[in-house]
Amino acid sequence: MNPARHAAWLLLALLALLAVLPPAHPEARLFSDGWGATSYVDPAACVTTGDARAAAGTLRPKRPAQAQWADRTALAVRYLSWGLLAPVLALAAVCHPRGIRRHATAVVFGLLGAAPAYYQWPLSPLFVSLRQSIAGAVVERFPVTEHGLAWIDGATLLLWLVGAALILGGSTYAAIRAVAHLTGLQWRSLARQLWPLAAVTVLLGSTMDTALYLRAEGVYGDQAWAAARAALLLLALGATAAAGSRTILAMVTLPVLNRVAATLLWLVPLALVGINGWLVHFHWTSRFHV
Protein backbone atom coordinates (compact mmCIF):
# COMPACT_ATOMS: atom_id res chain seq x y z
CA MET A 1 0.00 0.00 0.00
CA ASN A 2 1.52 3.32 -1.07
CA PRO A 3 1.82 6.38 1.22
CA ALA A 4 -0.95 8.24 -0.59
CA ARG A 5 -3.37 5.40 0.08
CA HIS A 6 -2.34 5.33 3.74
CA ALA A 7 -3.00 9.07 3.92
CA ALA A 8 -6.41 8.63 2.27
CA TRP A 9 -7.48 6.00 4.81
CA LEU A 10 -6.19 8.20 7.63
CA LEU A 11 -8.21 11.13 6.28
CA LEU A 12 -11.38 9.01 6.19
CA ALA A 13 -10.76 7.86 9.76
CA LEU A 14 -10.23 11.43 10.96
CA LEU A 15 -13.39 12.62 9.23
CA ALA A 16 -15.37 9.81 10.85
CA LEU A 17 -13.91 10.77 14.23
CA LEU A 18 -14.69 14.43 13.60
CA ALA A 19 -18.33 13.52 12.91
CA VAL A 20 -18.79 12.02 16.40
CA LEU A 21 -16.68 14.47 18.42
CA PRO A 22 -18.51 17.36 20.08
CA PRO A 23 -17.78 20.66 18.35
CA ALA A 24 -15.06 22.78 19.89
CA HIS A 25 -15.89 26.01 21.67
CA PRO A 26 -15.95 28.79 19.06
CA GLU A 27 -13.30 30.75 20.97
CA ALA A 28 -11.05 27.78 21.72
CA ARG A 29 -7.56 27.58 20.22
CA LEU A 30 -5.30 24.57 19.78
CA PHE A 31 -1.94 26.13 20.61
CA SER A 32 -2.86 29.01 22.88
CA ASP A 33 -5.20 30.11 25.68
CA GLY A 34 -6.67 33.38 26.84
CA TRP A 35 -8.66 34.19 23.69
CA GLY A 36 -12.01 35.95 23.80
CA ALA A 37 -13.53 39.28 24.73
CA THR A 38 -13.07 40.71 28.21
CA SER A 39 -16.63 42.03 28.26
CA TYR A 40 -19.92 41.55 26.45
CA VAL A 41 -23.33 43.19 26.08
CA ASP A 42 -26.12 41.47 27.97
CA PRO A 43 -28.98 41.02 25.44
CA ALA A 44 -31.57 41.09 28.24
CA ALA A 45 -30.45 44.57 29.25
CA CYS A 46 -30.45 46.16 25.78
CA VAL A 47 -32.14 49.56 25.61
CA THR A 48 -33.71 51.42 22.73
CA THR A 49 -34.14 54.84 24.32
CA GLY A 50 -30.68 56.03 23.52
CA ASP A 51 -30.00 56.68 27.23
CA ALA A 52 -26.22 56.41 27.57
CA ARG A 53 -26.41 55.88 31.34
CA ALA A 54 -28.79 52.94 30.93
CA ALA A 55 -26.71 51.48 28.08
CA ALA A 56 -23.55 51.66 30.19
CA GLY A 57 -25.01 49.09 32.56
CA THR A 58 -25.36 46.43 29.88
CA LEU A 59 -21.65 45.54 29.85
CA ARG A 60 -20.81 42.39 31.78
CA PRO A 61 -17.35 40.99 32.56
CA LYS A 62 -16.36 37.92 30.56
CA ARG A 63 -13.39 35.68 31.23
CA PRO A 64 -11.24 34.69 28.23
CA ALA A 65 -11.95 31.19 26.92
CA GLN A 66 -9.78 28.30 28.08
CA ALA A 67 -9.67 25.28 25.77
CA GLN A 68 -10.47 21.91 27.36
CA TRP A 69 -8.99 18.62 26.22
CA ALA A 70 -12.12 17.82 24.18
CA ASP A 71 -11.85 21.19 22.41
CA ARG A 72 -8.18 20.64 21.61
CA THR A 73 -8.87 17.13 20.35
CA ALA A 74 -11.61 18.33 18.00
CA LEU A 75 -9.42 21.18 16.74
CA ALA A 76 -6.44 18.87 16.20
CA VAL A 77 -8.55 16.42 14.20
CA ARG A 78 -10.01 19.23 12.11
CA TYR A 79 -6.60 20.75 11.41
CA LEU A 80 -5.09 17.40 10.46
CA SER A 81 -7.95 16.42 8.14
CA TRP A 82 -9.01 19.57 6.29
CA GLY A 83 -5.87 21.59 6.94
CA LEU A 84 -3.13 19.07 6.18
CA LEU A 85 -4.19 15.73 4.71
CA ALA A 86 -6.77 17.05 2.22
CA PRO A 87 -4.33 19.50 0.54
CA VAL A 88 -1.55 16.90 0.50
CA LEU A 89 -3.77 14.27 -1.14
CA ALA A 90 -5.12 16.78 -3.68
CA LEU A 91 -1.59 17.83 -4.60
CA ALA A 92 -0.45 14.20 -4.84
CA ALA A 93 -3.32 13.41 -7.23
CA VAL A 94 -2.35 16.33 -9.47
CA CYS A 95 1.40 15.63 -9.53
CA HIS A 96 1.38 11.82 -9.71
CA PRO A 97 2.40 10.59 -13.19
CA ARG A 98 -0.59 8.23 -13.25
CA GLY A 99 -3.00 10.78 -11.82
CA ILE A 100 -4.73 13.86 -13.18
CA ARG A 101 -1.42 15.07 -14.58
CA ARG A 102 -1.81 12.61 -17.46
CA HIS A 103 -5.34 13.66 -18.37
CA ALA A 104 -5.13 16.78 -20.51
CA THR A 105 -8.87 17.50 -20.51
CA ALA A 106 -9.08 17.32 -16.71
CA VAL A 107 -6.09 19.67 -16.38
CA VAL A 108 -7.46 22.24 -18.85
CA PHE A 109 -11.16 22.33 -17.97
CA GLY A 110 -11.08 21.03 -14.40
CA LEU A 111 -7.95 22.23 -12.64
CA LEU A 112 -7.44 25.38 -14.71
CA GLY A 113 -11.14 26.11 -15.30
CA ALA A 114 -13.54 25.03 -12.57
CA ALA A 115 -11.03 24.75 -9.69
CA PRO A 116 -9.98 28.44 -9.69
CA ALA A 117 -13.66 29.45 -9.72
CA TYR A 118 -14.39 27.14 -6.78
CA TYR A 119 -11.63 28.69 -4.69
CA GLN A 120 -12.63 32.26 -5.56
CA TRP A 121 -16.43 32.16 -5.20
CA PRO A 122 -16.52 33.07 -1.48
CA LEU A 123 -14.49 36.19 -2.30
CA SER A 124 -15.56 37.26 -5.77
CA PRO A 125 -17.88 40.29 -6.04
CA LEU A 126 -18.92 38.93 -9.43
CA PHE A 127 -20.35 35.81 -7.79
CA VAL A 128 -22.17 37.94 -5.21
CA SER A 129 -23.73 40.02 -8.01
CA LEU A 130 -24.72 36.88 -9.92
CA ARG A 131 -26.28 35.31 -6.85
CA GLN A 132 -28.25 38.45 -5.99
CA SER A 133 -29.49 38.83 -9.57
CA ILE A 134 -30.69 35.23 -9.80
CA ALA A 135 -32.24 35.25 -6.33
CA GLY A 136 -33.94 38.59 -6.98
CA ALA A 137 -35.41 37.38 -10.27
CA VAL A 138 -36.74 34.18 -8.66
CA VAL A 139 -38.18 35.92 -5.58
CA GLU A 140 -40.05 38.43 -7.73
CA ARG A 141 -41.90 35.63 -9.53
CA PHE A 142 -42.27 32.84 -6.96
CA PRO A 143 -42.67 32.56 -3.17
CA VAL A 144 -39.35 31.26 -1.85
CA THR A 145 -38.68 29.69 1.55
CA GLU A 146 -35.35 29.54 3.35
CA HIS A 147 -34.90 26.01 1.99
CA GLY A 148 -35.55 27.34 -1.49
CA LEU A 149 -32.85 29.98 -1.06
CA ALA A 150 -30.36 27.22 -0.32
CA TRP A 151 -31.27 25.57 -3.63
CA ILE A 152 -30.80 28.92 -5.38
CA ASP A 153 -27.34 29.25 -3.84
CA GLY A 154 -26.42 25.73 -4.95
CA ALA A 155 -27.68 26.31 -8.48
CA THR A 156 -25.81 29.61 -8.67
CA LEU A 157 -22.57 27.95 -7.57
CA LEU A 158 -23.04 25.20 -10.15
CA LEU A 159 -23.65 27.79 -12.86
CA TRP A 160 -20.55 29.67 -11.69
CA LEU A 161 -18.36 26.55 -11.92
CA VAL A 162 -19.69 25.50 -15.33
CA GLY A 163 -19.25 29.02 -16.66
CA ALA A 164 -15.67 29.18 -15.39
CA ALA A 165 -14.89 25.79 -16.89
CA LEU A 166 -16.16 27.03 -20.25
CA ILE A 167 -14.55 30.49 -20.11
CA LEU A 168 -11.24 29.86 -18.33
CA GLY A 169 -10.84 26.27 -19.50
CA GLY A 170 -12.07 27.14 -22.98
CA SER A 171 -9.58 30.00 -23.29
CA THR A 172 -6.74 27.72 -22.19
CA TYR A 173 -7.89 25.00 -24.57
CA ALA A 174 -8.10 27.42 -27.50
CA ALA A 175 -4.60 28.77 -26.79
CA ILE A 176 -3.08 25.29 -26.51
CA ARG A 177 -4.79 24.09 -29.68
CA ALA A 178 -3.46 27.17 -31.50
CA VAL A 179 0.05 26.39 -30.25
CA ALA A 180 -0.35 22.81 -31.44
CA HIS A 181 -1.52 24.01 -34.86
CA LEU A 182 1.47 26.35 -35.24
CA THR A 183 4.06 23.82 -34.10
CA GLY A 184 2.62 20.49 -35.22
CA LEU A 185 2.78 19.12 -31.68
CA GLN A 186 -0.02 17.17 -29.98
CA TRP A 187 -2.20 19.45 -27.87
CA ARG A 188 -2.54 16.84 -25.15
CA SER A 189 1.22 16.61 -24.67
CA LEU A 190 1.37 20.40 -24.50
CA ALA A 191 -1.50 20.56 -22.01
CA ARG A 192 0.25 18.09 -19.70
CA GLN A 193 3.09 20.60 -19.36
CA LEU A 194 0.63 22.91 -17.59
CA TRP A 195 0.54 20.69 -14.50
CA PRO A 196 2.72 23.09 -12.39
CA LEU A 197 -0.02 25.71 -12.83
CA ALA A 198 -2.67 23.18 -11.84
CA ALA A 199 -0.60 22.06 -8.85
CA VAL A 200 -0.09 25.56 -7.45
CA THR A 201 -3.78 26.40 -8.03
CA VAL A 202 -4.85 23.37 -6.00
CA LEU A 203 -2.19 23.86 -3.34
CA LEU A 204 -2.93 27.54 -2.68
CA GLY A 205 -6.69 27.06 -2.89
CA SER A 206 -6.88 24.00 -0.65
CA THR A 207 -4.63 25.55 2.02
CA MET A 208 -6.71 28.72 2.42
CA ASP A 209 -8.48 27.17 5.42
CA THR A 210 -5.13 26.01 6.82
CA ALA A 211 -3.84 29.57 6.60
CA LEU A 212 -6.92 30.85 8.44
CA TYR A 213 -6.41 28.30 11.23
CA LEU A 214 -2.73 29.10 11.68
CA ARG A 215 -3.25 32.87 11.57
CA ALA A 216 -5.96 32.58 14.22
CA GLU A 217 -3.45 30.69 16.37
CA GLY A 218 -0.90 33.47 15.95
CA VAL A 219 1.57 31.12 14.24
CA TYR A 220 2.53 33.58 11.49
CA GLY A 221 1.92 37.08 10.22
CA ASP A 222 0.06 38.07 7.08
CA GLN A 223 3.24 39.23 5.34
CA ALA A 224 4.95 35.85 5.79
CA TRP A 225 2.04 33.95 4.25
CA ALA A 226 1.69 36.46 1.41
CA ALA A 227 5.39 36.09 0.60
CA ALA A 228 5.10 32.29 0.58
CA ARG A 229 2.08 32.39 -1.74
CA ALA A 230 3.77 34.83 -4.10
CA ALA A 231 6.90 32.67 -4.23
CA LEU A 232 4.92 29.50 -5.03
CA LEU A 233 2.87 31.26 -7.69
CA LEU A 234 5.93 32.81 -9.36
CA LEU A 235 7.78 29.48 -9.23
CA ALA A 236 4.93 27.67 -11.01
CA LEU A 237 4.57 30.42 -13.61
CA GLY A 238 8.30 30.44 -14.28
CA ALA A 239 8.57 26.66 -14.52
CA THR A 240 5.63 26.41 -16.92
CA ALA A 241 6.86 29.31 -19.06
CA ALA A 242 10.32 27.76 -19.29
CA ALA A 243 9.02 24.28 -20.15
CA GLY A 244 6.71 25.47 -22.92
CA SER A 245 9.14 27.99 -24.40
CA ARG A 246 11.94 25.43 -24.44
CA THR A 247 9.74 22.95 -26.30
CA ILE A 248 8.56 25.50 -28.85
CA LEU A 249 11.86 27.28 -29.50
CA ALA A 250 13.70 23.96 -29.86
CA MET A 251 11.79 23.29 -33.10
CA VAL A 252 14.33 25.06 -35.30
CA THR A 253 12.75 23.80 -38.52
CA LEU A 254 9.66 25.95 -37.96
CA PRO A 255 9.46 29.51 -39.28
CA VAL A 256 10.49 32.12 -36.73
CA LEU A 257 7.07 33.75 -36.90
CA ASN A 258 5.37 30.47 -35.96
CA ARG A 259 7.65 29.98 -32.98
CA VAL A 260 7.18 33.53 -31.73
CA ALA A 261 3.38 33.36 -32.11
CA ALA A 262 3.26 29.96 -30.39
CA THR A 263 5.37 31.25 -27.50
CA LEU A 264 3.04 34.21 -27.00
CA LEU A 265 -0.02 31.97 -27.09
CA TRP A 266 1.62 29.72 -24.53
CA LEU A 267 1.56 32.65 -22.12
CA VAL A 268 -2.27 32.84 -22.17
CA PRO A 269 -2.83 30.08 -19.55
CA LEU A 270 -0.06 31.58 -17.43
CA ALA A 271 -1.72 34.99 -17.54
CA LEU A 272 -5.09 33.51 -16.51
CA VAL A 273 -3.57 31.69 -13.53
CA GLY A 274 -1.52 34.72 -12.54
CA ILE A 275 -4.53 37.08 -12.65
CA ASN A 276 -6.70 34.64 -10.70
CA GLY A 277 -3.96 34.14 -8.10
CA TRP A 278 -3.56 37.87 -7.64
CA LEU A 279 -7.31 38.42 -7.25
CA VAL A 280 -7.95 35.55 -4.83
CA HIS A 281 -4.82 35.66 -2.69
CA PHE A 282 -3.89 39.34 -2.73
CA HIS A 283 -6.68 41.63 -4.00
CA TRP A 284 -9.87 40.11 -2.55
CA THR A 285 -8.33 39.39 0.84
CA SER A 286 -9.64 40.79 4.10
CA ARG A 287 -9.50 40.05 7.81
CA PHE A 288 -11.77 37.07 7.10
CA HIS A 289 -9.67 35.60 4.28
CA VAL A 290 -5.92 35.25 3.80
pLDDT recorded at residue 265: 94
First to last CA, the chain: 36
Q: What is the mean pLDDT of residues 14-35?
A: 73
Cβ proximity of 87 and 187 under 8 Å: no
Spatial distance between the Cα atoms of 94 and 4, rounded to a whole number of angstroms: 12
Is 257's pLDDT higher than 80?
Answer: yes
Q: Residue 210: how many CB atoms within 10 A of its CB?
A: 17
Q: Check whether 43 has a pLDDT greater than 70.
A: no
CA 223 vs CA 14, 163, 202, 227, 281: distances in Å: 31, 33, 21, 6, 12
Give 233: exposed, middle or buried? Use CB within 10 Å, 0-12, 13-18, 19+.
buried
d(Cα 187, Cα 110) in Å, to the nearest integer? 16
- Report the distance separating Cα 32 and Cα 65, nearest Å: 10
- Which of 44-48, 107-111, 144-148 is least confident? 44-48
Quote the pLDDT of residue 270.
95
pLDDT at residue number 241: 93
At 15 the pLDDT is: 76
- The pLDDT > 90 percentage for the chain reads 22
**268 CB-near residues (< 8 Å, 6+ apart):** 171, 172, 175
pLDDT attached to residue 192: 86
The conformation of residue 250, written as its DSSP 8-state character, comes to T
Q: What is the pLDDT of residues 209-225, one digit of tens each?
A: 777 777 767 666 667 77
Instruction: Give me the pLDDT at residue 222, please.
Output: 64
Specify the higher pLDDT residue, 55 or 184: 184
Q: What is the identity of the amino acid at 173?
A: Y
Give Cα 79 to chain centroid, integer Å: 16
pLDDT at 39: 47
Asked whether residue 262 carries a pLDDT value surpassing 80, the answer given is yes
Is the pLDDT assigned to residue 250 strictly greater than 70? yes
| 141-152 confidence digits (pLDDT tens) | 878 777 778 888
Range 60-85 average pLDDT: 75
From the list 203, 205, 223, the residue with the least C-alpha distance to 215 is 223
State pTM to two decimals.
0.75
Q: How far is CA 215 from the centre of its chain?
A: 16
| CB burial string 34-59: b at 16+ within 10 A, e below | ebbeeeeeeeeeeeeeeeeeeeeeee
